[in-house]
Amino acid sequence: MAIHPPEKRIWWNEPLEKSEIIWITIAFIWGLVMFFTMVFWHFTGEQNLSNEAYRIHPETFAERTEAMVDQYTVREEGDTGLPVVRPPPGSDVYMLARLWEWWPILELEEGKDYRLHLSSMDWQHGFSLQPENINIQVHPGYELVLTLTPEGIGEYGVVCNEYCGIGHHQMVGRIHVVAAK
Amino acid sequence: MASIAHTGSLPRAAEFRTCPDTGLKVDLAAEKLIRWNAVVAVVFLAVGGFFGLLVALTRWPAVHLLPAEWFYLALTAHGADVLLFWIIFFEIAILYFASAILLNCRLATPRVAWFGFWLMLAGALLANVAVLQGESSVMFTSYVPMQAAPHFYLGLILFAVGALVAVAVFFGTLVIAKDEGTYEGSVPLVTFGAIAAAIIAVFTITSGAIILIPTFLWSIGLVSHIDPVMYKVVWWGMGHSSQQINVSAHVAVWYAIAAMVLGAKPLSEKVSRFAFLMYILFLQIAAAHHLLVEPGISSEWKIFNTSYALYLAVLGSLIHGLSVPGAIEAAQRRRGYTKGVFEWLRKAPWGNPAFAGMFLSLVMFGFIGGISGVVLGSEQINLIMHNTLYVPGHFHGTVVAGTTLAFMAVTYLVVPLIFRREIMFKKLAQWQPYVFGIGVAGISVFMMGAGTLGVSRRHWDITFSDAPVAFEYPGTAFLMMGLNGVFGVLSALGGLMYVVVVVSSVFFGERRTEEKARAEPLLPQGGAAAVASYGSEGTLKLPGTITLVAIFFTAFVLYYFVNWKFLSEVWPLS
């Protein structure tokens, strides 16, 4: 026996108050607005993550990346002599993640489209393009292909923002955006 | 001493005392379990909070306290100790309280409950040992294919099974209460909220077991491969959905504190219960929040799941956002604070740490944790936030400012009622929710700021001094990290105040005898009835609450669209 008798026994039979109905209606409509904003952005927005992905063996991905590097390397940069690769606009470009580097450095032309392929050789990594602040998860065994259009000439950093062990904080890559020819 | 009644006809000869403050019948076995779960929870809070301080001091660029190896170890321990062990031990205490105590019932099978307790404790200790040995600095999330020592996973599995046992005891107690007719009609709202939390707990803990058991087998070489995307889908079925246990539990705690301190009743039982029901039905699919920028998952799946199916679980929280302050306003107006729009709020018991902590928790959970969570969980906006410090900024707003502060607040009632000790260092206790609350608000906001500027989470050195190529975050980002450190110290101080007050009160506080309870009642007239029985406040004019909700909603809408604007400014990608 409860110490006080219940005022009404069954909760779902109670009437609703007007102020609460109004708020529930507003909140529900707001939920619909937020839901359809995401859908809407797929049709009108320019920033949507690609749904194109494949399963891939890390070795296969490495081979394709190496082929691109062999063909289009223009110079080397950084303490470890990272190749700087300048593939033609519109082409397939690769960036692989491994403990603890992004490889290679890409040189892309402003305003041109590139099909960027991302995958990891070992653990998970996080492709974090700075200072744009575009962040994409990179998995081993999965290849994500997205179309990217660089805007703004300059030097961009690629930070790893998925924890990947003791060298995680050394894992920085680079993308150069240069004027179109 | 309290009177003890023997009920010999029952399968277990349960021993009860009658609580002098509330008149409730208290099962002594339940009381002991509540005490021990709460004590262990506070110990893990202290340990995990200490690791959190070390993390904050390392990420403060001017201090940069720990070497890299220790930093990642401390961060792993911080996550496990506070996010899992502190919160779930405390939640088990809440479940026992909301079932046995609030329903005037004996606890089902205390022996099994103790078995669950020891299993949880053994698991939590084992996981801590694994982390401290240094071979399991895999972060709380332990994403494969990075591997921890086998006993790290084993510890988590034991803990999860123990928690599942405790949840089963909770459900058993509900059955007994119904069977023995210890309450009439619907269960009280606080118990209803606890039931929501427990149902979600079954789902999440099972998800955890489904993924951690094969991962454990993989770590000892019996399974050859765990797919990293599949791991995340299932792991976050535990990792994110378990945060919804916290939401349900701390919302139940908000109602409980409002009821006990002010005699507040929900505006409408139907509306509040409906909101909890939304949690049960839709919160589970939030694993998607962590998969919005993963390869191999379609946008349709992401949008449906990340929005909790048309934001129906968010609807639940928005309803509580009206009905909790509304219940407080109604109770205060009933008590005569009727002048103007906000007299009820001005003259609220701000000197009572239970109330102050509860109200700060409510406001900060809504404004900081809630709004940022919805924005962060928008499929495309996630692109400019994923794995930046914005993410921990968001969840320190929910789990620390929301859940932890609410649990701290209710402790100021649990100590006198369940431990039957007076709170020591009353002044310290009065200030504690403010110091902790302001500290946590600071770390949440400044981490979110740093994240907006691109600063990575879980990162030892944002100057990249050892990297092959250089990159520099903007100066503002370093300022944010410094401020985050300062407020981290403040919240650690608030946490320390809590631990000092609680531990000294529990062990050395003056005993709260029956005479004392009668002379200085802890709860106002009607407080016990409000928390332990069913009943709505009914119609009332609530101009203050409506104003607060209007301010909140405006902030929400503006902040939401501002972030779409930010998104529209980054490189086009498709």
Convert the pLDDT of each residue in B370-408 to its tens digit.
Answer: 999 999 999 999 999 999 999 999 999 999 999 999 999
Assess if residue A145 is contained within a domain: yes
Q: What is the pLDDT of residue B459?
A: 96
φ, ψ dihedrals at B420, nearest 5°: 50, 45
Q: Which domain holds residue A19?
A: 11-44
Q: How far is B427 from chain A (nearest CA, A)?
A: 34
Assess if residue A35 is contained within a domain: yes
* Neighbouring residues of B498: CB distance < 8 A, sequence distance ≥ 6: B42, B45, B408, B411, B432, B436
Q: What is the pLDDT of residue B8?
A: 44
Q: How far is A71 from chain B (nearest CA, A)?
A: 22
The reply to whether A71 and A89 lie within a common domain is: yes
- Does residue B186 register a pLDDT over 90? no
Whole-angstrom Cα distance, residue A120 to residue A96?
6
Q: What is the pLDDT of residue B12?
A: 60
- Which residues on neighbouring strands pair with residue B511, listed in sequence order? B421
The reply to whether A88 and A20 lie within a common domain is: no
| Most confidently predicted of A70-84, B430-444, B527-541 | B430-444
Assess if residue A88 is contained within a domain: yes
SS3 string, B283-336, reads HHHHHHHHCCCCCCCCHHHHHHHHCHHHHHHHHHHHHHHHHHHHHHHHHHHHCC
Degrees, nearest 5: CA angle B498-B86-B104 = 90
In a 10 Å sphere around its CB, with 0-12 CB exposed, 13-18 middle and 19+ buried, how is residue A34 labelled?
Answer: buried
CA neighbor of B41 nearest in space, from B83, B74, B2: B83
Please compute the mean of the pLDDT values over residues A28-50 and round it to a whole number. 97
Pairing label, strands A101-103, A53-55: unpaired
Taking all residues of chain B, what is their mean pLDDT, rounded to a whole number?
93
Assess if residue A1 is contained within a domain: no
Would you tell me which residues 481-520 of chain B have a C-beta closer than 8 angstroms to some C-beta of chain A?
none
Decide if B473 touches A, using CB distance below 8 A.
yes
Look up residue A145 and give its amino acid. Answer: V
The reply to whether A36 and A94 lie within a common domain is: no
In a 10 Å sphere around its CB, with 0-12 CB exposed, 13-18 middle and 19+ buried, how is residue B336 labelled?
Answer: exposed
CA neighbor of B258 nearest in space, from B530, B502, B521: B530
- Which residues on neighbouring strands pair with residue A173, listed in sequence order? A158
The reply to whether A19 and A89 lie within a common domain is: no
The reply to whether A32 and A82 lie within a common domain is: no
Q: How far is B219 from chain A (nearest CA, A)?
A: 15
For A82, nearest residue in chain B (alpha carbons): B468
Q: What is the pLDDT of residue B1?
A: 37
CB contact under 8 A, B571 and A148: yes
Q: What is the pLDDT of residue B538?
A: 66
The reply to whether A21 and A110 lie within a common domain is: no
Decide if B568 touches A, using CB distance below 8 A.
yes
Whole-angstrom Cα distance, residue B110 to residue B180?
17
Whole-angstrom Cα distance, residue B432 to residue B504?
15
Q: What is the pLDDT of residue B524?
A: 84
Assess if residue A106 is contained within a domain: yes
Domains and CATH numbers, chain B: 30-568 (1.20.210.10)
CB contact under 8 A, B534 and A118: no
CA neighbor of B414 nearest in space, from B244, B261, B243: B261
* Neighbouring residues of B77: CB distance < 8 A, sequence distance ≥ 6: B47, B48, B51, B128, B131, B132
Q: What is the pLDDT of residue B103?
A: 94
B413 is written with which tokens? 């009632």
Q: What percent of chain B shows pLDDT beyond 90?
A: 84
- Other beta carbons less than 10 A from residue B334's beta carbon: 17
The reply to whether A60 and A111 lie within a common domain is: yes
Please compute the mean of the pLDDT values over residues B317-338 and round it to a whole number. 93
For B557, nearest residue in chain A (alpha carbons): A30
Decide if B102 touches A, using CB distance below 8 A.
no
| Contact predicate B403/A71, CB 8 Å | no
Give just the sign of the alpha carbon dihedral B273, B279, B280, B282: positive
pLDDT tens, B454-487?
999 999 999 999 899 999 999 999 999 999 999 9
Return the SS3 of A2.
Answer: coil
Assess if residue A118 is contained within a domain: yes
- Which residues on neighbouring strands pair with residue A107, listed in sequence order? A176
Return the SS3 of A54.
Answer: strand
pLDDT tens, B62-99?
999 999 999 999 999 999 999 999 999 999 999 999 99
Whole-angstrom Cα distance, residue A124 to residue A139?
5
Strand order of the β-sheet with A53-55 is A53-55, A142-148, A114-120, A92-98, A101-103
The reply to whether A79 and A125 lie within a common domain is: yes
- Residues in chain B with CB shorter than 8 Å from the CB of A14 are 268-270, 536
In a 10 Å sphere around its CB, with 0-12 CB exposed, 13-18 middle and 19+ buried, how is residue A80 labelled?
Answer: exposed
For B534, nearest residue in chain A (alpha carbons): A6
CB contact under 8 A, A159 and B471: yes
| Contact predicate A94/A132, CB 8 Å | no
Q: What is the pLDDT of residue A1?
A: 31
Chain position carrying tokens 């929005």: B307
Q: Count of CB contacts below 8 A, A vs B?
A: 305
A111 or B515, which is more confident: A111
CA dihedral of A80, A81, A86, A91, whole degrees rounded to 10: -50
- Which residues on neighbouring strands pair with residue A75, listed in sequence order? A84
pLDDT tens, A120-144?
999 999 999 999 999 999 999 999 9
The reply to whether A32 and A64 lie within a common domain is: no
How many domains does the structure of chain A reveal?
A: 2
- Other beta carbons less than 10 A from residue B69's beta carbon: 12
CA neighbor of B92 nearest in space, from B258, B207, B249, B237: B249
- Does residue A67 register a pLDDT over 90? yes
Long-range contacts: B465-470, Cβ < 8 Å, 24+?
B466/A169, B466/A170, B467/A169, B467/A170, B467/A171, B467/A172, B468/A78, B468/A79, B468/A80, B468/A82, B468/A101, B468/A170, B468/A172, B469/A77, B469/A78, B469/A79, B469/A82, B469/A105, B469/A157, B469/A172, B469/A173, B469/A174, B470/A172
Residue of B136, B140, B302, B386 to mutate, testing the A interface (most A Cβ within 10 Å of its Cβ) = B386
Whole-angstrom Cα distance, residue B431 to residue B317?
28
| Contact predicate B423/B512, CB 8 Å | no
pLDDT band with cut points at 50, 70 and 90 for residue A79: confident
Which residue in the set A5, A50, A150 is minimally distant from B184, CB to CB? A5
The reply to whether A31 and A117 lie within a common domain is: no
Strand order of the β-sheet with A82-85 is A73-77, A82-85, A105-109, A172-178, A154-160, A125-130, A134-138
CB contact under 8 A, B268 and A24: no
B532 or A44, which is more confident: A44
Please compute the mean of the pLDDT values over residues B528-548 and round it to a whole number. 82
Domain containing A67 — which CATH number?
2.60.40.420
Residues in chain A: 181
Please compute the mean of the pLDDT values over residues A157-161 and round it to a whole number. 97
The DSSP annotation for B151-180 comes to HHHHHHHHHHHHHHHHHHHHHHHHHHHHHT
Residues in chain B: 574
CB contact under 8 A, B460 and A168: yes
Q: What is the pLDDT of residue B533?
A: 77
* Neighbouring residues of A36: CB distance < 8 A, sequence distance ≥ 6: none
- Does residue B251 register a pLDDT over 70? yes
pLDDT band with cut points at 50, 70 and 90 for residue B539: low
Q: What is the pLDDT of residue B537?
A: 75
Return the SS3 of B571.
Answer: coil
For A41, nearest residue in chain B (alpha carbons): B380
- Residues in chain A with CB shorter than 8 Å from the CB of B383 are 47, 49, 134-136
The reply to whether A28 and A75 lie within a common domain is: no
Return the SS3 of A49.
Answer: coil
pLDDT tens, B259-313?
999 999 888 888 999 999 999 998 777 889 999 999 999 999 999 999 988 899 9
- Max CA separation in chain B (angstroms): 77
CA neighbor of A108 nearest in space, from A124, A122, A94: A94
φ, ψ dihedrals at A146, nearest 5°: -130, 155
The reply to whether A33 and A114 lie within a common domain is: no
- Residues in chain B with CB shorter than 8 Å from the CB of A146 are 573-574
Assess if residue A5 is contained within a domain: no
- Does residue B9 register a pLDDT over 70? no
pTM summary value: 0.94
Decide if B273 touches A, using CB distance below 8 A.
yes
B431 is written with which tokens? 């200030």
Assess if residue A105 is contained within a domain: yes
| Contact predicate B107/B203, CB 8 Å | no
